[in-house]
Amino acid sequence: MNILYIDANIFLGFYNSNRPEFKKLLDSIIEVKDKVFFTEQFKYEIDRNKLNVFKQSIDNYIKQVSIVNTILPEHLDKDNSSKLISWNSSRKELEIQIKNSNNELLQILNETLQNVSSSEDNVSKALSLLYNTSKKASIDNLNKARLRKEIGNPPGKKNDPLGDQLSWEMLLNIVPNVNRVWIVSKDQDYYTENKDILYLNPILKNDLIQLNPNIEIKVFNKLSQALRDFNDLESIISIPSKNELELISISESFEPNNYDNMRDFRIINDQREDFNIDAKDIEILKLLANGNNTSEIKEILNNKGEYLSLSGIEKKVAKLKFFFDANNTIHLVSITKDMGII
C-alpha cells in the first residue's frame, strides 16, 4: 500500500489567491484521495486557518488596485492653454472609474470571503471529498499524542494545539501495512534540508522503521514534486504537464504565509530595469533549449563543479520568464533564440 501523508499547511496553499498555479494540483489530490491519509485534525486545522489565509492573500490585490488622488496646479498653465485643466479632468474621471471598480472588487471579495467562511467555495467543496474520508482519533491515539507533545518529540510545535502529534500517531497505526509513504509538509519539525534533499527527523524515521523495517520513506516540502514522484508509481490522470509542474514548484518556493515575497514574485515584471542577465542565466537557457528540466540542469551543473540548488535554478527560470514575458519554458527558449541570446 502506498500512502500520501500531506500536512494541513500544504492544503492551506489552495486558499492562497496569490498562487493560482498551485490550484491545478487540486484535481490530482482528489483523484488519488483513496491514497491520501487524511485525519480529522487536518480538517480542523484547514477550517481554522483557511479564511485568514485567503484574507491575507487578497489584501495584496486591494493594495495593488488603489490609486492616489492627484490634481495638477492649473494656475501654472500658459495663457489660453487648458492642458492642465484637461489633464485634471481626465484624471478625475479615471479616479472615479477606479473607485467604482474597487467598490465592485470589494463586493466580490466580500462575497468570496463569505463563501470560504461557509465552505461554499470551489476549493472547500473539492476538499469535502477528503473530509468525508477523514479518520477519527482513538483514545489511545490521543493519549500517545499528548505524551509525544509533553516530552517534546516531533511533529508539532510547543505552543500549537494538539494536532500534528495526533495525526502522526494515527498514521503509525497503519504503517505496518504500508509499502511506501510520501510525507509532504512545510513544517521543518518533520525534516532537515541540505542541498535540496530532505531528511526526515530521526525520531519520526525511527517511529516508522520500528513498526515496518521495510517501509520506503519519501519526504517533500512541495506538493508538486511529491505528486510527480508519486505519479511514477501510481498513475495520476489529472496531473499537470511537466512544464506546469515546474512552474507550480517555483511558486511553492515561496512560503504560503510570506505574502510579501509572493507579491514580489508576481510583480517582478514591473522591475525589469533592475534585472541583469548573467553568464549563468545564459547557460541555464541553453540547457533548457536542449530539453533539460530544472532537476537535470542542477545535475549537469553539479557534475561540472558548479553548485546551484534546485530552488535557485527554479527562481532564475521564473525571473527569466517574467523578464521576457514568456508564457512557459518553451516560449522562453523561443524568445531568447529569436533575440540571439542563445
What was the pLDDT predicted at 61? 65
Signed CA dihedral, 180, 186, 192, 197: sign only: positive
pLDDT in tens, 97-114: 888 888 888 888 899 999
In this structure, of 60-69, 130-139, 176-185, 191-200, the range with the lowest mean pLDDT score is: 60-69
Mean pLDDT of the chain: 86
What was the pLDDT predicted at 245? 87
pLDDT in tens, 263-272: 444 444 344 4
Query: Which has more confidence, 74 or 333?
Result: 333
What was the pLDDT predicted at 269? 37
What was the pLDDT predicted at 164? 94
Collapsing DSSP states into helix, strand and coil, what is residue 339? coil
What was the pLDDT predicted at 273? 46
Domain ranges within the chain, ordered by starting residue: 2-59+127-239, 243-338
| pLDDT higher than 80, residue 196 | no
| pLDDT higher than 80, residue 262 | no
pLDDT in tens, 203-258: 999 999 999 999 999 999 999 999 999 999 999 999 998 878 887 887 787 554 43
The stretch 139-148 carries a mean pLDDT of 96
Spell out the long-range contacts of 144-152 with Cβ–Cβ below 8 A and sequence spacing 24 or more: 144/169, 145/169
1, 33 contact by CB (below 8 A): no
Q: How far is CA 153 from its chain centroid?
A: 27
Compute φ and ψ for 190, nearest 5 degrees.
-85, -30
pLDDT in tens, 293-325: 998 999 999 898 888 888 889 888 888 887 787
Q: Which CATH architecture has domain 2-59+127-239?
A: 3-Layer(aba) Sandwich (3.40)
At what angle are helices 164-174 and 202-211 packed, to 10 degrees?
Answer: 30
Q: Which CATH architecture has domain 243-338?
A: Orthogonal Bundle (1.10)
- Does 243-338 match 2-59+127-239 at the fold level? no
